[in-house]
Amino acid sequence: MPSGPLLVFGPRSLEYDFGPRHPLSPRRFGPGIELLRAVGARPGLAPEPASDAELEWLHSRDYIATVRRFSSLARGDPRIGSEAGIGPGDDPPFPGMHEAAATVAGGSIRAVEAILRGNCEHAYHPGGGLHHAMSDRASGFCVYNDVALAIARARHDGLRVLYLDFDVHHGDGVQALHYRDPGVMTVSFHESGRSLFPGTGFVGELGEGSAAGTSINVPLEPFTGPDAWLAAVRAVVAPLAAAFEPGLIVSQHGSDGHVWDPLAHLSLTTTVQGEAARLVDRLAHSYASGRWLATGGGGYAVYRVVPRVWALTWLAADHRETPLELPEPWRARWAADAAEWHEAPLPGRFDDGPDLPPAETLSSRSAERAKETAALVRAATVPALLSVAEDRGWWRFEGEVSGTWSGAAPAAEAPPAAEAARPPLGDAAPQAATAPTLVVPLMPAILDRTRLARRVVAPADPEAATSILRAALLDGATAAATFAGEWLVGLALAVPEPLGGAGAGAGVARLAALGVAPEWRRRGVATAMLTALIGELDRAGRSLVWLHTVAERDHLDPLPRALRREVAERLARYSAMTTSPAPARLASIDPDALVAVHPHAAAPEETEAHIREWLSSF
């Protein structure tokens, strides 16, 4: 496999041109590609137009014909009108529009094919990322949706795809084109649709049917700064990747969230945009076998920002440190052009300094709202066990074990030094004919003699899930488990919740995980485990609270959204738990979320109030 990411760029990349005064200008390729060359990148794939058959994977035949018709007209032709989003404004027609837009699509499709063939692990298409185009219309400077088509190409080969969008505008086209596919997860961080085009991307847009929970949006208020933005990204992206098990990551690294960008109102820096790219690289290696296609997306500070973000993205993909200073020859070459376009002086460094963003472009209220929004999105879309594992220091989902837990384990229950005693996973699977055995309470030592079956609980990797389960048990969690021979095929796990201050909620536990391997479902295993867990908690003097959201699903074969709630209600009823609507904020975005409670008979009067207060935080 060749070293370094595959850089997608060629002569035809310059043909996507709406005109000399349009914000999305091919001028960006001059300084952008030259800076990429300065850091060692060399174009390795010159894009050519995708075929109509490939475009029809997602775009309608009539729409493609419309684009072709506009493409044949000269600029200023009196026959030019408006149709399918093409016309005066964001997407004016230009001669050769079809071929130019199909070339962008072809570049991203061929890049994915190179990754699938094993010719490279990472590819970077700076001219790609046209994420607004819809099935039957152009939108937001985008004619054909190259990133959505690249995802469709990977889906054709059976890969699950995680799409991460860091552009300041919501990735509405990619979301819409894959909204009903549970094998595609779209995650978008953007300025709120209340203040910026395209007016979508709200937290409640979660996907439809069996794909509910695979459309994730984190809308941010104007003047959100770099620290709040990066904290939101880190809070959401890594655990979602761990739970989803992608075979490929596709990302869009629009630089238009930068404080110097003229078209939007976030206050980001190149520093955090580069950090986001490095996070994606780590996730690709941790969860997607290294497969990653990055695209450039939007960005309208053509000289001061776009080239630096392009370079930082490529450096992240090439696993190289960021140089301190921009090359002086590059700055000298583009200084006059930058001045002509009112972007002087050029910065001296790849990363922005501490003077950016200026204090007057930041809002403490926006920072607090970003924190609240990320927490709400996390509560609704990240499986509870993964949230608890991160919050309590049991696991880091960028692929690192923290090694510390918040509670001390009895010496006799500490995991043995010789992990080799546990049977290897291999390709084996539990046999459905094996009679299941219920074990309650589950003790940590048992985990060293057994194997966790796939698709019992998140995360998708059974080894990581086993490590989290061990950490939870050593930290005071209670579990009921079902075994088939040496395989753990079912789990109900409750963790203590310190509600109402230190010691006040000592009698309350949260149901953090409830799952059964596919071969043992619909046999009453989940009900038996939940009932046994409640009995064990009763003996310990603890009440049980279950907050069920769209996040709790089999990531490979999810049930339709309404059926998930029906199953959860049935399990709660059979286990003598009382159900009620989810907290108002959570219910407003996930109407199928619910709360189930089994109170301990001798629980203090204030326990119910503490539970209500805890739930109100979601």
Residues 152, 296, single domain; the answer is: yes
- 340 within a domain of the structure (yes/no): yes
The range of the structural domain enclosing residue 502 comes to: 407-615
Residues 478, 515, single domain; the answer is: yes
Residues 23, 141, single domain; the answer is: yes
Q: Which two tokens stand for residue 331?
A: 């700055």
Whole-angstrom distance, CA of residue 26 vs CA of residue 11: 11
Whole-angstrom distance, CA of residue 498 vs CA of residue 509: 9
Bridge partners of residue 295, in order along the sequence: 125, 252
- 402 within a domain of the structure (yes/no): no
Residues 202, 118, single domain; the answer is: yes
Residues 115, 188, single domain; the answer is: yes
Contact 198, 140 (CB under 8 A): yes
- 386 within a domain of the structure (yes/no): no
Domain count, the chain: 2
Contact 454, 517 (CB under 8 A): yes
| DSSP codes joined into one string, 30-45 | HHHHHHHHHTT--EEE
Closest by Cα among 458, 570, 460, 577 to 524? 570
Whole-angstrom distance, CA of residue 517 vs CA of residue 359: 52
Q: What is the CATH number of the domain that holds 121?
A: 3.40.800.20
**With a cut of 50, which residues of the chain have pLDDT below it?**
400-427, 502-505
- 396 within a domain of the structure (yes/no): no
User: Can you list the alpha helix ranges (DSSP code H) found in 94-158?
Assistant: 97-117, 146-156
Longest dimension (CA), the chain: 85
- 393 within a domain of the structure (yes/no): no
* Peptide bond between residue 198 and the one before it cis (omega within 30 degrees of 0): yes
Given 379, 396, 423, which residue is the final one in a domain?
379
Whole-angstrom distance, CA of residue 153 vs CA of residue 45: 17
Angle at 553 between CA 551 and CA 556, to 5 degrees: 120
Whole-angstrom distance, CA of residue 456 vs CA of residue 165: 29
Residues 350, 452, single domain; the answer is: no
Given 379, 398, 431, which residue is the final one in a domain?
379
Q: What is the CATH number of the domain that holds 595?
A: 3.40.630.30
* 340 phi, psi to nearest 5 deg: -60, -35
Residues 359, 272, single domain; the answer is: yes
Whole-angstrom distance, CA of residue 3 vs CA of residue 1: 6
Contact 289, 251 (CB under 8 A): no
- 385 within a domain of the structure (yes/no): no
Residues 150, 249, single domain; the answer is: yes
pLDDT digits (tens, 9 = 90+) for 463-510: 999 999 999 999 999 999 999 999 999 999 999 998 755 444 468 999
Q: What is the pLDDT of residue 531?
A: 98
Closest by Cα among 2, 81, 57 to 178? 57
- 445 within a domain of the structure (yes/no): yes
Q: What is the three-state SS of 252-267? A: ECCCCCECCCCCCCCC
Q: Which two tokens stand for residue 121?
A: 């692990």
Q: Give the three-state DSSP class for 489.
A: strand
- Of 122, 132, 258, 265, which one is the catalytic site residue? 132
What are the start-end ranges of the E strands in 321-453?
Answer: 437-439, 451-452
Q: Which two tokens stand for residue 357?
A: 């963003």
- 397 within a domain of the structure (yes/no): no
Q: What is the pLDDT of residue 208?
A: 96
User: Can you list the alpha helix ranges (DSSP code H) found in 540-581?
Assistant: 561-574
Residues 199, 72, single domain; the answer is: yes
81 backbone φψ class: left, alpha, beta (φ>0; ψ -120 to 50): beta
Sign of the dihedral through C-alpha 4, 13, 58, 164 = positive
Residues 320, 232, single domain; the answer is: yes
Q: What is the pLDDT of residue 3?
A: 66
Residues 368, 488, single domain; the answer is: no
Q: What is the pLDDT of residue 424?
A: 47
Closest by Cα among 144, 134, 138, 140 to 167? 140
- Tokens 């200008």 correspond to 25
Whole-angstrom distance, CA of residue 390 vs CA of residue 468: 10
Quick check: is 132 catalytic? Answer: yes
Residues 429, 286, single domain; the answer is: no
Whole-angstrom distance, CA of residue 370 vs CA of residue 330: 36
Chain length of the chain: 618
